[in-house]
Amino acid sequence: MAPRYARGPFLGCRHGTGLLECDPVTAVPRPARYGHLDFNSPIAPRRADRLVANLAASRPATILDIGCGWGELLLRLAQALPEASATGIDADTELLDRGRANAAERGLEGRVAFIEHQGRAWTEPADLVVCIGASHAFGDSAAALTELHRLVKPGGRLVFGEEFWEQLPTRAQLERLWPDTSAEDMLELPGLVDAAIAAGFRPLRVEAVEQSEWDDFESGFLADWETWLLAHPGAPGADGIREQADEHRGWWLRGHRRLLGFAYLTLGRPR
């Protein structure tokens, strides 16, 4: 899932076929959703490759991705673990369709299932659980880690991707962020790791993305809107899309840049 400030209604198209859904009145294609992103979180290709290799080394037989979106990491894990079964769950049917199409293209549709489901209601544990940018399904970071503990089999692994404060924001900094943001919305990185330990995990690896990974992610997120606006500057709805894009860019460049971090915690549940 996308980081919390990017959540909410999007002006989107159906992505499963790779074709844009057109406005029924004007026949103008609507902006794509996440069309310029491989992953729906900030992560460099080298980091994703290393993460997959490290997780595959423990040879999990079952993989669960909560809030999977289109499940790019899940698919790469399934490719690296040909004997494993993988399940991705999400409430966004458009992104699930994209995941199913990608699974079929890679010959993985028999081993990877994409299911429309609410993460908090899932009950079947797995050897490897992935939850990236989806802690909101459980409440906050600490609540998510507590709930996720029951879904990781003893001896298994959890990959927890979450935002954190690089430094506690001042009132002035909070005012430049997305609406209703408070300092209590996120932990600092040491507090995030402490919450994982309190939930019963042991931290195997703690890593935070670099600024270039954030910038690549934000640029890719906005590229769908900006590419569309270049092609359809006067189309119905263009003013609203332009306003949303500019507002989002302000949250990024004037707000969270160098204030908000994103961590990938690889956690183990003791036997």
Full-model pTM: 0.90
Is residue 134 included in any domain, yes or no? yes
Is residue 234 included in any domain, yes or no? no
Is residue 246 included in any domain, yes or no? no
Is residue 194 included in any domain, yes or no? yes
Domain residues for 163? 4-212+252-268
> Residue 53 sits in a domain of what CATH number?
3.40.50.150
Is residue 56 included in any domain, yes or no? yes
pLDDT in tens, the chain (271 residues): 454 544 332 333 333 333 345 554 455 778 889 999 999 999 999 999 999 999 999 999 999 999 999 999 999 999 999 999 999 999 999 999 999 999 999 999 889 999 999 878 899 999 999 999 999 999 999 999 999 999 999 999 999 999 999 999 999 999 999 999 999 999 999 999 999 999 999 999 999 999 999 999 999 999 999 999 999 999 999 999 999 999 999 999 999 999 999 999 999 999 9
Is residue 10 included in any domain, yes or no? yes
Is residue 197 included in any domain, yes or no? yes
Number of domains in the chain: 1
Task: Give the phi and the psi of residue 153 in degrees, each rounded to 5.
Answer: -65, 150
